[in-house]
A and B are shown apart, each in its own frame.
Chain A
């Protein structure tokens, strides 16, 4: 019995899934870096949740209405549908997506209130068990719902205008590092608008 338990623990060794924020104003290179990451990483599948369908026009669209929308190889995109009677909605369905990457592109468009926070929280509680790496792409710190900050492991920071101060409580001991990084990125972005910093939080 003991041996079986130890075997299970050994199987679970490996890196923890990442929750990465990619933050920057328009035109800084967020989408380009996301495409690069998707090309270079060895994930089997990635799902982009976006309401900016045109920006990812080369990617096949799915609506998570059939099994094939969850089990595939490559990159797919989906719009974020609200729940209706008989449909639990996109955010709730993501709890059934496993072993891959989910990218929330410009999430402020579909993550706005406490109701969506509950769905995100549900996903974030189980994303490790689902073996998911999650990326949240947004224009700035305040455009990402506070619920994500409890789980963030990496920040890829381009030039941003809004203040990290509004997420001070959520960032805790990492707050000052982010403040310093933002000041530096914004300063260097004057010369190089695509300058960014990768901040590893854990």
Chain B
């Protein structure tokens, strides 16, 4: 069954009534008391977990209660990584076009710090954290992606070098042939001269 509803702010209950009428049917009762287990939860021997999480588990950290969210520390760590990537990738990209040293285009220490702060603020506000796996992939990509055009250029140079070496070899062989031919000619003319004199 698929209920189709066009949402209307004025009449938000519209056909939502169908869902609500389903929901407002009596639920199966398990005759459980509402406070079932609460005595155990708030007793001296309150549960510490259900066996899967133990005191020694790293999930339990000996610190103040913390909400599940992106902490300022994590945001700063991710921001530092994002800033580093930006400062590595963008200058390299620009340098490819303008053909200059990418290091000259990198941010100064002060600019870099500003970039980190801006990233940290953004990541904290948006509650975005980066997983270590993605960070690693990002670093690898930022380092090696900029090297791909260089590698291609180097391969072309190598191919040209090989081609030139081949041509050089060919030329050397041609010269050898030419030299041997001219030597033969010289020998023949010597023989001819000697014969004539005789």
Hey, which bits of chain A sit against chain B, CB under 8 A? Answer: 11-18, 29, 32-33, 36-37, 40-42, 51, 66-67, 70-71, 79-88, 92-93, 95-96, 98-99, 109-112, 115-116, 118, 122, 128-131, 133, 154, 156, 158, 177, 181, 188, 192, 194-200
Contacts and interface: CB of A to CB of B under 8 A. Distances in A.
5 contacts: A12-B28, A66-B42, A85-B48, A92-B53, A110-B69
Contacts of B47: 88, 92
Contacts of A71: 34-35, 38
B21 to A, nearest CB: 10
Contacts of A70: 34-35, 38
B73 interface: no
B196 interface: no
A40 B7 contact: no
B67 A37 contact: no
Contacts of B8: 194
Given A71-B34, A96-B38, A197-B3, A51 B69 contact: yes
B110 interface: no
B61 to A, nearest CB: 6
Nearest to B55: A85
A104 to B, nearest CB: 11
Given A99-B34, A109-B68, A83 B59 contact: yes
A196 B3 CA distance: 9
Nearest to A63: B65
Interface residues of B, number: 57
Nearest to A201: B1
B171 to A, nearest CB: 61
A96 B41 contact: yes
B13 A36 contact: yes
Contacts of A16: 27-28
B9 interface: yes
A161 to B, nearest CB: 16
Interface of B: 1-9, 12-13, 15-20, 22-38, 41-42, 46-50, 52-53, 55, 59-70, 127
Given A42-B24, A83-B53, A200 B1 contact: yes
B3 A85 contact: no
Contact of B48 (A88, A99, A156): A88
Given A15-B26, A99-B34, A197-B3, A82 B16 contact: no
A163 to B, nearest CB: 19
A82 B5 contact: no
A84 B33 CA distance: 28
B154 to A, nearest CB: 39
Contacts of A129: 30, 32
A37 B16 contact: yes
B22 A15 contact: yes
A87 B65 contact: yes
A70 B41 CA distance: 11
Contacts of A198: 2-5, 15-16, 18-19
Contacts of B68: 51, 80-82, 109-112, 116
